[in-house]
Structure formats: C-alpha cells, structure tokens
Homo-oligomer: A and B are copies of this chain.
C-alpha cells in the first residue's frame, strides 16, 4: 500500500484552541492517521505529523492549510522560531512511495495553495525548482518581516501563487524530503574533542558521507561523549556503513561504543538494510515480516 507522511509546521503554539481546530482537519480525514502533534509556546509553533495513502494525505493537508490560514494572523505573530508564513512549512515524506511521486505531489499541492488561497508558495528541498532554493534556511532568510520586500525582487518570484504580499498569511514553504534517521552513538570516553573529530570524519561538510550531518557533544553526568547524526538519505548512506565507520574511528583511539540510539521514527527500509548488512542476508526483504501483511488491513 502506498503511503506518505506529512509534517506541517504552523506558526501558532500558544492558542491551543487554534491548534486543535487545525489538527481536527487531519483527524476528520478518512485514510489518514494522526501520529503526533506538539506545540511550543516559546517558538509559537506547532508540528503535526500524519501518514496515509497519498490522496488522503493531500486532502487532509488541504483542509489543514485552509484552516490554519483562516485562523492564524501573521501580522500579529511573534515567536523565537524562524518562520515566513502562517503555515510555515509543509514537507511531504515518501514512506512507501517513489521519491518522484512525492515531489510531484508537493508541486501539485503548492500549486493548489497558490491558486486557491492566493498566497505565494516556495518549493524547497527535493521539491526545489532551482538549486538556490533547496535550503529552507536560504528560502526563509529575513523571515516574514522581509517578505514584502523580497517579493518585489524578481529573483524571489514565488514558485506558485501570486508575487503578492498577503500580510495575514505570508508565504507557504512546501517540500518533499526523504525520511530522516536520527542516530546517536555514545562512546566510552569523556573526551568531547574525540566525538567532534569523529563527527567531522563522517559528515558531508568535512569530507565524510554525502547524506550525513553530524556533531560531537558531551553527555552530562555519564562520562561519555556522543556522535549525534542525522542520516538524510538512509538508502544512499545506510545506517550500518555509518555505524561501523564511527566504531572503527573510535577504535583507532582505543575507545569502544557504549550504545547507540535511533531517535524517533525509523522507516522499515532502514531495518531491512541492517538485517541485510550484518546477517549478510542479501536477499532479505521486509515483505517477509509477518506483521507487514497486516499493514493497511482492517
């Protein structure tokens, strides 16, 4: 069964009635399952996570965005988290879906927003239409406060919708991105510089693996340090390759791995790779998992 996840961030984290009204749009959509939502008052922002068949996720997101745009007024909004719109980001994440289909869905969705809600839309990450717009940090530079001027600049013409500043709503940023795997590896040493050095070895920025972001840090009160990583494309840079590289780098200094943590959601495909790598079970498929036969089954 095809499935896609969506994790919109809305610029409201204080008025929980508004948040509930927005989340209700997901709850009320058939074919979608609400996985999580949380609000942060300092950030004045809420994150909503849901999954389902692509058509239903598309529909739930339409309703969610429509409701958020109706209830949130950016001209009054303050918060510590960077944001450029009432619905600040709408990332679609293919779970059991081709990456290209997810990009197309993000584009269709952005075009619907531009047309129906008449607000500017920027595409970023894998949905970006030019390399300069791939990074959300760059797309959102100057934030809501700079948007009116930005929209006058032809280089910042929106990817969908009118190049018109709508004070109440701002712009909506729509993306497709691969599911991210958060992997932390604890090392049996208190030398934080070793964790930092290993983080530098494995991360893309310093010459490491293409799809790894990493940093080294101390874990207070444990006498351990941690290499904290995001694997942003687990298929192209798989967990076991990163795990064993960190292990070997630590071993060069006589340091052992104490444990690792996979934080938050993990795609089935990432588990499949771990099985295949360590057991050398090259033909293993997650379709063999008994419970998988119950997915999408009532």
**What chain B residues lie within 8 Å of A297 (beta carbons)?**
33, 295-298
**What chain B residues lie within 8 Å of A281 (beta carbons)?**
259-262
Q: A51-B290, A294-B296, A296-B298 are in contact. Are A274 and B279 (CB under 8 A)?
A: yes
Overall SS of chain A's interface? mixed
Which residue of the partner chain B has the closest CB to A271?
A: B271
User: How many residues belonging to A are interface residues under a CB distance threshold of 8 Å?
Assistant: 47
**What chain B residues lie within 8 Å of A240 (beta carbons)?**
278-279
A291–B295 touching, CB < 8 Å: yes
Q: How far is the CA of A35 from the CA of B297 in the complex (A)?
A: 12
A274–B265 touching, CB < 8 Å: no
Which residue of the partner chain B has the closest CB to A30?
A: B298
Residue A179 is within 8 A (CB to CB) of chain B in the complex: yes
How far is the CB of A264 from the nearest CB of chain B, in Å?
7
Proximity string of chain A (257-282) to chain B, C-beta cutoff 8 Å, 1 when within and 0 when not? 11111101111100100110111111
Residue A243 is within 8 A (CB to CB) of chain B in the complex: yes
How far is the CB of A37 from the nearest CB of chain B, in Å?
14
**What chain B residues lie within 8 Å of A3 (beta carbons)?**
291, 294
Proximity string of chain A (34-50) to chain B, C-beta cutoff 8 Å, 1 when within and 0 when not? 01000000000000000
Interchain CB contact (< 8 A) of A288 among B264, B292, B293, B294: B264
A289–B267 touching, CB < 8 Å: yes
**What chain B residues lie within 8 Å of A257 (beta carbons)?**
280
Q: How far is the CA of A297 from the CA of B294 in the complex (A)?
A: 8
**What chain B residues lie within 8 Å of A179 (beta carbons)?**
290
How far is the CB of A257 from the nearest CB of chain B, in Å?
6
Residue A239 is within 8 A (CB to CB) of chain B in the complex: yes
Q: How far is the CA of A280 from the CA of B275 in the complex (A)?
A: 14
Residue A76 is within 8 A (CB to CB) of chain B in the complex: no
Q: How far is the CA of A282 from the CA of B185 in the complex (A)?
A: 12
Which residue of the partner chain B has the closest CB to A258?
A: B280
A289–B266 touching, CB < 8 Å: yes
Q: How far is the CA of A261 from the CA of B280 in the complex (A)?
A: 8
**What chain B residues lie within 8 Å of A288 (beta carbons)?**
262, 264-266
How far is the CB of A245 from the nearest CB of chain B, in Å?
13
Q: A274-B279, A279-B239 are in contact. Are A262 and B291 (CB under 8 A)?
A: no
A5-B290, A261-B283 given; 14 more Cβ-contact pairs under 8 Å: A33-B293, A35-B293, A243-B278, A243-B279, A257-B280, A265-B289, A265-B290, A271-B275, A271-B289, A274-B278, A277-B278, A278-B278, A291-B292, A295-B295
A-B contact pairs, 9 of them (CB 8 A): A33-B293, A33-B297, A51-B293, A179-B290, A257-B280, A264-B288, A265-B288, A268-B290, A274-B279
